[in-house]
Chain A
Amino acid sequence: MRKAAVLLAATLALFGCATTGGQSANSASAAEDRSAAGVFDPDPFPSTYRPYPGVPTVIRGATIYDGEGGQIDNGMVYFADGRVQAIGQSLEVPEGTTVIDGAGLWVTPGIIDIHSHLGNYPSPSVAAHQDGNEITGNNTANVWTEHSVWPQDPGFSRALANGGVTTLNILPGSANLFGGRSVTLRNVPSRTMQGMKFPDAPYGLKMACGENPKRVYGSRNQTPGSRMANVAVARQAWIDAQRYRDQWENYRENGGSPPARNLRHETLAGVLDGDILVHNHCYRADEMAIMIDMAEEFGYSIASFQHAVEAYKIPDLLREHGVCSAMWADWWGFKMEAYDTVFENIPMVHNGGACAIVHSDDDNQIQRLNQEAAKALADGRRAGIEISDAEAWQWLTINPARALGIADETGSLAAGKRADIVLWNGDPFSVYSRPQMVWIDGALLYDMTNPRLRPISDFELGQPGEGSVR
């Protein structure tokens, strides 16, 4: 905590009073959490992120997708103090507000990528940087991928400037049945992971079904070596976590000496308590159905299936159980469980009444998630599935925000939410459009027309091509 406090002080000294309110509130609630837990700090690596200073700004005359399915033509968005203040056709704004003419431009909430490996599989992707997956056991629920995140990954800046990505969820890999905890980040350059960490965002747990776990461990003559063992090992882990959770509950109610902490069980118990959200890597429809039943057996819910290549076969099941599907527009053929891709997967899931998300899992496509959504939308329409542009934008913002448990804070342009905003230089569902300006918490962190507002990572400083528009 001490280091964090020093860092905070430094940040505050630099950016003045714009941020003090949030800081004291967070510290207070963290202290309460600790006293509730009584024995250990549930937040030992707390966020030190504070919004950077912004100026009250209004964009007017733009086409606005609000992120929740609404569209305002020739509309206005007003944001100040890091938050969206108002959105509408015509707004009164205080004198001195910076006015941006959005005629011919589009405004959307910042894109949220629910599946990224920026930071834990950074560029350059040399062996020394392969920190995204602890491939040493079938259950590594004890690892927290935030401890692998390298904030100097040049990919963050590309996702910001080319992709309009303002929030990302970094997931551990899928070699294990339980890959570890994910972490949600603000896409701001920072010296530390903590300086990017989304304040108060819940942790996620990466789970995996299918080919990866059984291949990785089966090839070492370890379990799981089959899909049936995938499920058996996972169920046993839940049974063990239930017992662990009971021990702690007993301790809290009856006192005595606290049970020995176990980081693996602790993460799973956090899921059973509803504090940690499950993001379950799963491709095939039949396996997703099994994962849903396993979740019911142990009383947890699945926030999202990741990849969900065959989600189009079971939108009813996904809708009934309230599970989001985070999907590519069109990846296919790289392995057996990705053979049944259809390019209409995303619109078919949406059309079936289930929650659809466009994800990247890729340091290149994270720079074009708007185009990936556009491809899926167009393919859906050609198959007779009519979804409006504004409705489809939910796939990029509010739906991932919900699956990450941060929808009260971001994911749409509702008054009171963080001012995570992208101004596009054209229709964002066109290949010809790019982010023109990107704000995170109301701070302008990218401006296409201002070369100084283009972050360059430490890694790229002094290297060939430094400063070139990427």
Chain B
Amino acid sequence: MKALIVLLTALIVAVPASAQTFAITGGTVVIGDGSEPIPGGTVVVRDGRVVAAGANVAVPAGAQMLDATGQWVSPGIVGGFTRLGLVEVSAVAPTNDAAASESEFSAGLDIAPAVNPLSAAIATNRTGGVTRAVVAPRTSSTIFGGQGAIIDLGADMDAVMRPRAFQFVELGERGAARAGGSRSASYAMVRNALDQAQRYAANPNAYGGQTSDALLNRVDAAALVPVVQGRVPLIVHVEQARDILNVIGLRADYPRLELILVGVSEGWTVANEIAAAGVPVIASALNDLPEQFEQLAATQSNIGRMRAAGVQVAIGMIDDNDAHQIRYSAQYAGNLVALNNVPGATGLSWGEAFATISSYPAEIMGLGSEIGSLRPGRRADVVIWDGDPLEVTSNVDIMLIDGVQQPLTSRQTRLRDRYLSIEERQLPQAYEW
């Protein structure tokens, strides 16, 4: 116990209140834009925003100083595709708001009210360096899941940074199953929905869709209007080469669609086509098994090869502990760096690997000027680590979100502390809290 108390005391460093100017000096600074880490760099924060970061950054007069010598300073991790905050315990239905299997609505569902800022998953992922996340609904009875959000992981009730930030749709094997059993059905369904949305947009009052047997009800049609008009991106889950090209092909008839692909295990086999189409990808990082027939070409080199072909790519967690383990993102990025030493494999540079979990997902979601990097003007989501943030043995020492220092405790750290010693005591553990 003694060791722990000493350690915790050492970690509790008072970071100045957000209105002040302060400078973090001496640490290895990660900008998050794809550039390599900068030893002995400085990060200056004022009013919850980054003023400057890098080498040779002048510290403003009067700034409070925070010494990060021996530590790493980076932007917070941005979960590229998650269900964070929607689920407390996956198998306990009342605590799982990721999908709505009995709902009459689909595209019209808005996950914003389902996000629970106090969920254990948010606190736990905060301890792993995650500060923001793209949060998507899960589909259940049809191909559309609904409207997702961008959230922050701050310890307050104001989690949703951008509601209705995108629409989510399944168009691979799962989409085919949801639509009635084939890709013909899923494409008929998505095309009909987009057509109906256009009809709705042209004259909302004339649009029917009030009855339960309508092919697209009013709520869902209305939600798809900004999608078909290109004002809200459409995140499409696909894995297979055929499906990737089919989705890109939708733009022939719906030219304003802002497509983002997620999953994309076989992306490397059609990387040039994805790059030429300018469609960004939020890919699963380490899928290397043919878990489904749509993933036969899966390899850990997928992201590296897509990146090499010029695809804009971030790491996402779809269907991979996506409500609980967004903290794996850093480990996954580190594995992509390791691939560089494997002949025949394609990895990423360290700087690019970090960018796949910071600025790249932010930019794909249209938030690159706000979050995901320590470039000037960005929100001060700053993490100070006890080592290389992509290394599995590193941990978070200090976290700021919007310049505000965050607690790094959770149910899990409390349970750990309670049971670190199981020696005989005067009263049971239940009295220790």
Q: Which of A10-18, A231-239, A338-346 lies at the interface? A: A338-346
A335, A384, A448: residue with the most chain B Cβ atoms closer than 10 Å: A384
Q: Which of A41-49, A136-144, A311-319 lies at the interface? A: A311-319
A126-B292 contact given A378-B392, A448-B342, A469-B342, CB 8 Å threshold = yes
In the bound complex, CA of A3 to CA of B291 (Å):
32
| In the complex, chain A residues 442-470 whose Cβ is within 8 Å of any chain B Cβ | 448-449, 451, 459-460, 463-465, 468-470
A470-B7 contact given A333-B323, A340-B415, CB 8 Å threshold = no
- A434 pairs with B342, CB closer than 8 A: yes
Q: A residues within 8 A CB of B9? A: none
Closest beta carbon of chain A to B373's beta carbon, Å: 22
| In the complex, chain B residues 66-120 whose Cβ is within 8 Å of any chain A Cβ | 87-92, 120
- A126 pairs with B4, CB closer than 8 A: no
In the bound complex, CA of A42 to CA of B323 (Å):
46
Q: Contact mask B413-428 → A, CB, 8 Å, 1/0? A: 1011001101000000
A374-B392 contact given A126-B292, A384-B3, CB 8 Å threshold = yes
- A333 pairs with B391, CB closer than 8 A: no
Q: B residues within 8 A CB of A432? A: 334, 337-338, 341, 391
In the bound complex, CA of A132 to CA of B255 (Å):
47
Closest beta carbon of chain B to A243's beta carbon, Å: 37
Closest beta carbon of chain B to A86's beta carbon, Å: 29
Q: A residues within 8 A CB of B1? A: 384
In the bound complex, CA of A464 to CA of B301 (Å):
14
Q: B residues within 8 A CB of A261? A: none
A352, A378, A433, A463: residue with the most chain B Cβ atoms closer than 10 Å: A378
- In this complex, how many residues of chain A approach chain B with their Cβ under 8 Å: the count is 60
In the bound complex, CA of A332 to CA of B331 (Å):
17
Q: A residues within 8 A CB of B124? A: 332
Q: B residues within 8 A CB of A459? A: 290
- B392 pairs with A431, CB closer than 8 A: yes
Of B89, B393, B415, which one neighbours A333 at CB under 8 angstroms?
B89
Q: A residues within 8 A CB of B334? A: 431-432
- A123 pairs with B290, CB closer than 8 A: yes
B418 to chain A: closest residue by CB: A313
- B341 pairs with A470, CB closer than 8 A: no
- B289 pairs with A154, CB closer than 8 A: yes
Q: Which of A174-182, A299-307, A363-371 lies at the interface? A: A363-371
Q: Contact mask A63-103 → B, CB, 8 Å, 1/0? A: 00000000000000000000000000000000000000000
Q: B residues within 8 A CB of A342? A: 412-413, 415-416, 419
In the bound complex, CA of A470 to CA of B301 (Å):
7
Q: A residues within 8 A CB of B91? A: 211, 334-336
B306 within 8 A of partner (CB): no
B300, B341, B416: residue with the most chain A Cβ atoms closer than 10 Å: B416
- A469 pairs with B301, CB closer than 8 A: yes
Of A123, A343, A431, A469, which one neighbours B289 at CB under 8 angstroms?
A123
Q: Contact mask B388-414 → A, CB, 8 Å, 1/0? A: 001111110000000000000001110
B64 within 8 A of partner (CB): no
- A335 pairs with B89, CB closer than 8 A: yes
In the bound complex, CA of A135 to CA of B146 (Å):
35
A330 to chain B: closest residue by CB: B325
Q: Contact mask B277-304 → A, CB, 8 Å, 1/0? A: 0000000001111111101111111000
Closest beta carbon of chain A to B408's beta carbon, Å: 11
A425 within 8 A of partner (CB): yes
B241 within 8 A of partner (CB): yes
Q: What are 19 sample pairs from A and B whose C-beta atoms fall under 8 A apart?
A: A123-B290, A123-B291, A124-B293, A315-B422, A316-B422, A332-B324, A334-B321, A334-B324, A336-B92, A339-B89, A342-B416, A352-B422, A378-B393, A379-B395, A382-B386, A431-B337, A432-B341, A463-B297, A464-B296
**B residues neighboring A (CB under 8 Å):** 1-4, 7, 87-92, 120-121, 124, 241, 266, 269, 286-293, 295-301, 320-321, 323-325, 331, 334-335, 337-339, 341-345, 386, 390-395, 411-413, 415-416, 419-420, 422
The 4 closest A-B pairs by CB, nearest first: A465-B297, A384-B3, A431-B334, A378-B393
18 A-B pairs besides A334-B91, A342-B416, A431-B338 with CB distance below 8 A are A125-B292, A158-B289, A162-B300, A211-B91, A312-B419, A330-B325, A340-B411, A343-B416, A363-B291, A364-B320, A371-B331, A382-B7, A384-B3, A384-B420, A431-B334, A468-B297, A470-B298, A470-B301
